[in-house]
A and B are shown apart, each in its own frame.
Chain A
Amino acid sequence: MADHPVALSNVGFSFGEGALRRPVLRGLDLTVEPGEVVLLTGPSGSGKTTLLTLVGALRAMQQGSCVVLGQELLGAPESARVALRRRIGFIFQNHNLLGFLTARQNVAMALELHPDFGDEAARLGMAGEILGRVGLADFADVVPAKLSGGQRQRVAVARALVAGPGLILADEPTAALDRQSGRDVVDLMRGLAKDRGMPVLLVTHDPRILDVADRVVAMEDGRIVG
């Protein structure tokens, strides 16, 4: 149990207060094996995003147990959650790159949080390297506004993975992309994650990418159904 990068048991979560209180997750159990790519699907409103924000320590837990990379998140202080986030790679539906930084500088931002990656030159070197791995060697010094949607999302993938996180969380990373770009992005993500043995928890509606998963988990009404 302790070596699972993600281990949730009996997780419950509600939005709202008093009469407006609406449960979104109810008694949810889920584990992710080391190096496993898990795909989370389910109808809209079933609580997939909410689950991901809990696992990513972006939201405070309310009920149950959620152990991520060895850190129990129930009752964890903000400082512990910030520290855990540094060990997770996030890929959002929108790329959310900083518009005033080049692709390389955006990727290097993720390394700034870890003193062991050396100085600025070393960080920019590493960033350039991983941008090469996602096929953007020629676009490293370009600002996001001059990249296509697919290219931006590949920069976001590079940023999420560059620091060698213990877990990758992605929420519909292909939703804003066309078929081929979406395919490229998830393939890259899977390839890089598998190379480095990083587990991935990926939420998607996109049936075309189900085959990247080691395991597909379906959610309905706040529970895992299969």
Chain B
Amino acid sequence: MLPLRLAWRQLRAERARLFSAIAGVMFACVLVFMQLGFRSALFDSATALPQAMQGELFLIHPLTTALFRPETFPRVRAYQTLALPEVQVAVPIYMAQAIWRNPVNGTHRAIQLIGFDTEAGAVSFPGLDALIPALKRPDTIAFDWKSRPEFGPVPALLAERGPFQVEIGHRMVEIVGTVALGASFGADGNAVMTETNFRRLVKNRDTSNIDLVALRLRPNADPLTVQKQLTALLPGDVTVVTHDQLVAWERNYWETATPIGFIFAFGSLMGLIVGMVIVYQILFADIASHLAEYATLKAMGFSAGYLRLVVMGAAAILAGLGFVPGILASTGLYRVVAKATLLPLRMQADRGFVVLALIFGMCSIAGLLAMRKLRDADPADMF
């Protein structure tokens, strides 16, 4: 406590130095928050499709890396799950990419098609329920209004002239409405339709092979128990996963198989290194300009450990004083950026704790480095 107080009094005495140190810590803090925020927002949007699925359990091919390019498995696996009384519904899901023709300027772009029994209730995207009757008609789709703008101003056109025709994979289909899903790294846009319409649209596809199965269980069934039973029951060409595992599966692909995770980790590290150098220089300058006083304290009988605590105390104070404005500024920045980019950026408590720990670690390392300067305070030189 006393070393901490001494550290605070020393820091307080040099206002300009103190403020530049706080600004340095705050800068590192904001940088790390932004990097981690973007990272998590991108992963969140990358996993929008599995997040929107409603099932308790899912079947997926073990070799599927990500949902935008799934490995197929036999449709019969879906029906085999019904052997267990706990399984209420099994909904096969088809996925494919097809070429979309922009209704305004005619440019082409790949769109992700998702086909399933829209009435089974295992997959639900905001806006879908109201469109279920209309989607029963042949050659109809629901368009994801969060798709990238390159697909054309579909929501505006719908509002203007009602349902209209577009060309997907050289076939004319009718857009009957919009759902909310979101573009991801793997798919720039999405279109949702019934299984029947999917078959009409994707001709060259063997419909006895499917990409994903969503399972709804009876209300009091335990998903983990059923997961074990199904795993024992089904052959090795499918893996049974829970909803969380499905999301994690998708997320894991983007984290490990792409440089995205690395890029943001690298950005965070840069921020921490810059912050550490600033804090180190401030602490070092504080020791260097008080060498005679530190040596006097040693002569008076203060131990080297006490003086090290003073330095670490100063480091901890700087960490705390920089973190508070840092987290406030980051929360504000998140709001601004979220508004501008539509990315799901939000301040989260667990991220706050992670950054707090990182900032304290950063300042501690700076303190440990600066501490070496204390050796130059030799009480024998004092007389």
User: Which A residues form the contact surface with B (CB < 8 A)?
Assistant: 49, 52-53, 56, 58-59, 82-88, 90, 92-94, 96-101, 105, 109-110, 112-113, 159, 171, 203
Residue in B2, B9, B300, B379 whose CB lies within 8 Å of A110: B300
Inter-chain CA distance A97–B382, complex, in Å, is: 12
Q: Is the interface of B mostly helix, strand, loop or mixed?
A: helix
Would you list the 4 A-B pairs with minimal beta carbon distance, nearest first? A86-B301, A100-B13, A85-B301, A96-B296
Is the CB of B292 closer than 8 A to any CB of chain A? yes
Given contacts A58-B299, A82-B303, A85-B301, contact A100 B379 (CB under 8 A): no
Is the CB of B297 closer than 8 A to any CB of chain A? yes
Given contacts A58-B379, A58-B380, A171-B383, contact A98 B299 (CB under 8 A): no
Q: Are A96 and B379 in contact (CB under 8 A)?
A: no
Q: Are A82 and B301 in contact (CB under 8 A)?
A: yes
Is the CB of B302 closer than 8 A to any CB of chain A? yes
Given contacts A58-B380, A96-B292, A112-B2, contact A90 B13 (CB under 8 A): no
A88: chain B residues at CB < 8 Å are: 301
Inter-chain CA distance A88–B295, complex, in Å, is: 15
Q: Are B293 and A109 in contact (CB under 8 A)?
A: no
Q: Report the contact-size class of chain B (Cβ under 8 Å from the partner).
A: 20 to 34
Q: Which chain A residue shows the least CB distance to B295?
A: A96
Is the CB of B12 closer than 8 A to any CB of chain A? yes
Q: Are B383 and A92 in contact (CB under 8 A)?
A: yes
Is the CB of B231 closer than 8 A to any CB of chain A? no
CB distance from B296 to the nearest CB of A (A): 4
Q: Are A49 and B301 in contact (CB under 8 A)?
A: no
Q: Are A100 and B9 in contact (CB under 8 A)?
A: yes
Inter-chain CA distance A90–B299, complex, in Å, is: 8
What are some 11 contacts across the A-B interface (CB < 8 A)? A49-B383, A53-B380, A59-B380, A85-B379, A86-B300, A90-B299, A92-B383, A100-B9, A101-B9, A109-B300, A113-B301
Inter-chain CA distance A109–B9, complex, in Å, is: 13
Q: Which chain B residue shows the least CB distance to A156?
A: B296
In the complex, per-residue mask of B349-382: 1 if CB is within 8 Å of any chain A CB, else 0: 0000000000000000000000000000001101
Inter-chain CA distance A153–B191, complex, in Å, is: 85
CB distance from B293 to the nearest CB of A (A): 5
B281: chain A residues at CB < 8 Å are: none
CB distance from A26 to the nearest CB of B (A): 19
A49: chain B residues at CB < 8 Å are: 383
Q: Are B301 and A99 in contact (CB under 8 A)?
A: no
Inter-chain CA distance A99–B10, complex, in Å, is: 9
B299: chain A residues at CB < 8 Å are: 56, 58, 85, 90, 92
Q: Which chain B residue shows the least CB distance to A56?
A: B299
Q: Are A52 and B383 in contact (CB under 8 A)?
A: yes
Q: Are A58 and B382 in contact (CB under 8 A)?
A: yes
Most buried by B among A53, A83, A87: A53
B301: chain A residues at CB < 8 Å are: 82-88, 113
Inter-chain CA distance A85–B382, complex, in Å, is: 14
Q: Are A99 and B293 in contact (CB under 8 A)?
A: yes
B290: chain A residues at CB < 8 Å are: 98-99
CB distance from A106 to the nearest CB of B (A): 10
A97: chain B residues at CB < 8 Å are: 293
Inter-chain CA distance A59–B13, complex, in Å, is: 32
Inter-chain CA distance A83–B303, complex, in Å, is: 9
Q: Which chain B residue shows the least CB distance to A51?
A: B383
Q: Are B9 and A90 in contact (CB under 8 A)?
A: no
A59: chain B residues at CB < 8 Å are: 380
Inter-chain CA distance A56–B379, complex, in Å, is: 10
Q: Are B9 and A92 in contact (CB under 8 A)?
A: no
CB distance from B369 to the nearest CB of A (A): 23
Most buried by A among B292, B301, B382: B301
A92: chain B residues at CB < 8 Å are: 296, 299, 382-383
Most buried by A among B290, B293, B296: B296
